[in-house]
A and B are shown apart, each in its own frame.
Chain A
């Protein structure tokens, strides 16, 4: 871990903010067209308590939906990875389900489970993010070369041992690749619910209130907060990947 690994991204963010500020300043855009970074500071300081509370609501519900997606996605992936018949049967169903725009599902879910806001939000975050996990696990398992199995099977190892010793670790790189996609998707899911069917919780609700009050800097500040949360969660996954699947990383050069 060297210093430049920290400094480079920080510099990149600063340059980005500088360019943004300059763009707004040069064009002399009013706030409702495009807020500038210097407007965001006041928005954050004025509402920092709300940002903490709502940000936490968004974060924990996203993580909950994501955990559910990991459990269900991995289970589906295992079923499809080990059984050809199940794969042939489930795949079209899953693809079809995934193709439905989740924005259309939100009102349905909201009607189905009226009042269960947390549950609904978690459900949407889950529904939008489990697909890549299921696909990656199933592909990882079904493309396992038979010789890998044979090495252990010829020693009398059980299916469970083969799964733990070989199938699971061999699938981890693909799993984490999918998880990175799923993290972003889960955020979209949470915010979709919070914005389309607002119930006064989460950053989506804060965004909505900014819209109602024509508080444009607040709306932009929410977007930034969402981006920060997204980056945070993404890097948590990156760290986990380094720990559990770091072996798959090739040394450059």
Chain B
């Protein structure tokens, strides 16, 4: 690998489920009474795995990411990370959202460095910056280190946000619709960047997405969540031979996978193909 500084980060253990979501249920208290969001949800992600979660809007996908990152505690059930029960936030997690939430008063470089200012580590300032530069280079942002976030395009900001999520070498990378606001071409560019990043910077990934093509392109496992209250409705394994180049998304095999997932989403939304036809006819 390239010359990046060492001296922190997890020691990689044997292959076990790194993220374990066991029988998790959750309710929110709202003005109009309790809202049952998750209902005995089960997901298990192997170390180094990349799981995509799809499901109807509002079914609790973002809630799931907050439970895994320890920002929230589930009412029932348990979340385990690397053999330890999650009871609060932990620095072995990196997060990126649909909104890149870069700090406008910091340069791109300093935005990426931010987590290293918070997570305990022994790096010098120069080493932190070197680490940030390495990642920015990896995602194709070298030369933009000193720019302000507002000077970058949406796709570039999302790349920077990705670097910030990875800079402290988290075991777990949680992405909540990170490419949702981008145009189709930029999004596909970023998919390929993700593959590159995954090779250089090993992590265990949890990706929330609305884009089925994105899910089978990036993940090795796709979870379909049912409508609220959500449980695990369907699980699809995507073999390593699955679509890994953009052209692979247009093969009969990929079409078959997308079809199955689309069908599952319809079920999760409580619709059938017949409903759609009727609606369209009206």
Tell me the A residues contacting B by CB distance below 8 Å. Answer: 145, 147-148, 150-157, 161, 165-166, 169-170, 172, 245, 247-248, 250
Contact = CB atoms under 8 A, between A and B. Distances in A.
Given A147-B99, A155-B91, A169 B118 contact: no
B266 to A, nearest CB: 30
Q: Would you call the interface of chain A mostly helix, strand, loop, or mixed?
A: helix
Interface of B: 66, 69-71, 88-91, 93, 95, 97, 99, 101, 103-105, 114-115, 117-119, 148, 150, 164, 168
Contact of B105 (A145, A153, A161, A169): A169
Contact of A247 (B69, B90, B105): B105
Nearest to A148: B101
Contacts, number: 58
Given A154-B71, A155-B118, A165-B117, A248 B91 contact: no
Given A154-B89, A155-B119, A248-B105, A165 B150 contact: no
Contacts of B71: 150, 153-154
Nearest to B168: A155
Contacts of A156: 88-91, 118-119
Nearest to B90: A156
Listed residue (B70, B101, B117) with the most chain A CB atoms within 10 angstroms of its CB: B101
A172 B101 CA distance: 17
Given A145-B101, A155-B119, A165 B114 contact: yes
Contacts of B66: 150
A152 B99 contact: no
Contacts of A145: 99, 101
6 closest Cβ pairs, A-B complex:
A247-B105, A154-B69, A147-B101, A156-B89, A155-B118, A157-B118
Nearest to B66: A150
Contacts of B117: 165
Given A154-B89, A247-B104, 19 more contacts: A147-B97, A147-B99, A148-B101, A150-B95, A151-B101, A151-B164, A154-B69, A155-B93, A155-B115, A165-B114, A165-B117, A169-B103, A170-B105, A172-B105, A245-B105, A247-B105, A247-B148, A248-B105, A250-B150
Contact of A152 (B93, B105, B118, B168): B118
